[in-house]
Amino acid sequence: MDAENVEKIVQQLSEKTEKHQEVIMNIAQRLQDKGLKAGWEKGHQQGLEEGIEKGIEKGKHEANLATARTLLKNGISLELIMESTGLSQEELISLQ
């Protein structure tokens, strides 16, 4: 291949690229939009799952606090309540 042929090939490729530039950009934009949507959906789902998990943990903790209040009112020792509920001594003292 001589330099003249290479120039012609480059010129032809350049012309074809210019003609299809809008199509290429549209395809790129669609792919980007699709990727963003997929990322948002995954993040949203993950956020929901984490929120549910935190809500369940908070509910368990609240139930343990309620149980501890009742046990404290009935004169059960702090040690036994801590062992049964997993609550700390500080948490139990704050309930008294």
Task: Sketch the domain layout of the chain as residue ranges.
Answer: 3-95
Residue 5 has pLDDT above 80, yes or no: no
Q: Could you tell me the pTM of the whole model? A: 0.57
Q: Which residues contact 89 (CB under 8 A, 6 or more apart)?
A: 78, 82
Give per-residue pLDDT as tens, 44-58. 999 999 999 999 999
Q: 7-30: string of b/e by CB count within 10 Å (b at 16+)?
A: eeeeeeeeeeeeeeeeeeeeeeee
Residue 87 has pLDDT above 90, yes or no: yes
Q: Which residues contact 1 (CB under 8 A, 6 or more apart)?
A: none
Give per-residue pLDDT as tens, 30-49. 888 888 899 999 999 999 99
Confidence at residue 1, expressed as pLDDT on a 0 to 100 scale: 59
**CA 4 vs CA 10, 16, 17: distances in Å:** 10, 19, 20
